[in-house]
Amino acid sequence: MTSPVWFWPGPYQLDTYKNWVKDAALELAKFQNYAVPRSRIIADVTDLVSFEIELAKLTSPSEMRRNVHRMYNPMTLWDVQEWTDSARPRNSHAKV
């Protein structure tokens, strides 16, 4: 039996997630008329997923990551922007 994606994603779940993020980024770039090389998006998605995995390891012990209700926290982009703005970044490089 494979583990659910929210506990510890296997290769299939990670690849599916990476493809979903890549496709979303390509659609956003197309919608905004940005010329972003596909290779750049793929590299950025790989970095993003690696960052998310490392961040999860740092922020919660593994026994807490097993609680699906604690882990699933849907947010809109607006919610994320408000949440990051509330952190009051100290320099422009930290602003999202």
Reported as a pLDDT band with limits 50, 70 and 90, residue 10 is: confident
Mean pLDDT of 8-36: 90
Tell me the HSE value of 33 on the side-chain side, using a 13 A CA sphere.
Answer: 0
| 26 within a domain of the structure (yes/no) | yes
Task: Indicate whether 65 pLDDT > 90.
Answer: no
Please give the tally of structural domains in the chain. 1
Contact yes or no for 17/5 (Cβ under 8 A): yes
CA gap 96, 81 in Å, rounded: 7
pLDDT on residue 7: 52
pLDDT tens across 68-77, in order? 666 667 788 8
Question: What is the reported pTM?
Answer: 0.56
| 20 within a domain of the structure (yes/no) | yes
Reported as a pLDDT band with limits 50, 70 and 90, residue 93 is: low
| 5 within a domain of the structure (yes/no) | no
- Give the residue numbers spanning the domain of 55: 11-94
| 70 within a domain of the structure (yes/no) | yes
- Mean pLDDT over each residue of the chain, to the nearest integer: 80
pLDDT on residue 38: 94
**H helical segments located in 6-67:** 11-31, 38-59, 62-65
Contact yes or no for 30/95 (Cβ under 8 A): no
| 4 within a domain of the structure (yes/no) | no
| 37 within a domain of the structure (yes/no) | yes
CA gap 94, 77 in Å, rounded: 17
Q: Is 60 exposed, middle or buried (0-12, 13-18, 19+ CB in 10 A)?
A: middle
| 6 within a domain of the structure (yes/no) | no
Contacts of 26 (CB under 8 A, 6+ apart): 36, 38, 41
pLDDT on residue 6: 47
| 35 within a domain of the structure (yes/no) | yes
